[in-house]
Each structure stands twice: as C-alpha cells, then as structure tokens.
C-alpha cells in the first residue's frame, strides 16, 4: 500500500450503521478505501500502529476519520482527545458521525477539536445525502494539512 492512498477510518461499532455508511459512500462514488474500527481501542491501535495494528506504517494516517461517540472499551470523545494530543494526528480531520443529539456531546466534541458534528439521520436517503456531502467536502474540496516531519 502506498503512503499516499487516501483512507477513511470509520469508527463504528454498529454493523448496520457500518453497512449504511459504506453503501452511502459507494452511492456518492467515494472510492477511498474504508478501514473500519469497531471500538475505540481498535481505532487508536490503527492510528498509532499499536496492538492489533503493530507493524503498520504509522505515518500512513487516514485522510478522514468518521467517528461514532457511543463505542465500547474507549468512547469516541476519548478517541478524539487522544487524536488531538498526539502530534502525528493532531491535525487529522475528524467528523463525529453519531446518532447522539445530546447538546453536551456536541459541546464536548467541538471543545476537543472535532472538525464537524453530523447527526445520523434515520432515513437512508437523508443519510446517503449527508455522507455524499461529507465525501465531497472532506475528500475532494478540503485541502488537508501538509505532512510534517513526524507525520
């Protein structure tokens, strides 16, 4: 795999929501490789090349993280906190994609450095449209931060 491959890290424990997200990305013609982490520990292991992902090139960070909040083992807000406190991932675009509509989750997400907070619509057509817009903006239009010496 090339370091320049544009990867989406989808952090999602619900198989139905994972399938919907993948389907919506395909419908939006987003061809990026999707790596799925099913809990917060797996997401952090993937990002920092530890645990089950030891040996992976940690410089190969995803172009985008789609992060659910309600995760087993380590919740999404803690994953976001750790992403923002490590120089290798501090500038990584993180979109919270969650069913939570709790104001405190939105406040904490933005306080911890989320780039965006998207509530998952229940209706698939609306969900697919939201993912299409996310893909267009974050993967096509947005200019990500340049790779630094420790990234």
pLDDT in tens, 32-47: 899 999 999 999 999 9
pLDDT in tens, 114-151: 998 988 766 778 877 777 777 777 776 667 666 654 54
The pLDDT value recorded for residue 10 is: 96
C-alpha to C-alpha distance for 130 and 117, rounded to whole angstroms: 11
The pLDDT value recorded for residue 133 is: 78
How many residues belong to the chain?
151
Q: Which domains does the chain have, with CATH numbers?
A: 7-139 (3.40.50.2300)
Please report, rounded to a whole number, the percentage of residues in the chain having pLDDT higher than 70: 88
Helices (H), 4-141: 15-27, 40-48, 76-84, 103-111, 124-135
C-alpha to C-alpha distance for 151 and 149, rounded to whole angstroms: 6
Phi, psi angles (nearest 5°) of residue 144: -70, 170
Q: Which of 10-19, 65-74, 131-140 has the lowest mean pLDDT?
A: 131-140
Report residue 1's pLDDT band, with 50, 70 and 90 as the boundaries.
Answer: very low
Query: How is residue 58 written in tokens?
Result: 């940690």
């Amino acid at each position: 795999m090339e370091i320049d491959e544009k990867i989406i890290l989808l952090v999602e424990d619900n198989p139905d929501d994972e399938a919907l997200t993948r389907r919506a990305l395909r419908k939006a013609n987003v061809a990026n490789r999707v790596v799925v982490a099913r809990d917060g520990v797996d997401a952090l292991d993937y990002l920092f090349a530890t645990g089950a992902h030891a040996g992976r090139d940690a410089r190969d960070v995803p172009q985008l993280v789609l992060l659910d909040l309600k995760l087993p083992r380590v919740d999404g807000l803690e994953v976001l906190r750790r992403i923002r406190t490590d120089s290798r991932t501090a500038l990584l675009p993180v979109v919270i994609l969650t069913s939570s509509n709790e104001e405190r989750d939105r406040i904490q997400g933005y306080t911890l450095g989320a780039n965006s907070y998207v509530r998952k619509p229940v209706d698939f057509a609306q969900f697919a449209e939201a993912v299409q817009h996310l893909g267009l903006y974050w993967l096509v239009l947005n200019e990500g931060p340049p790779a630094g010496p420790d990234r």
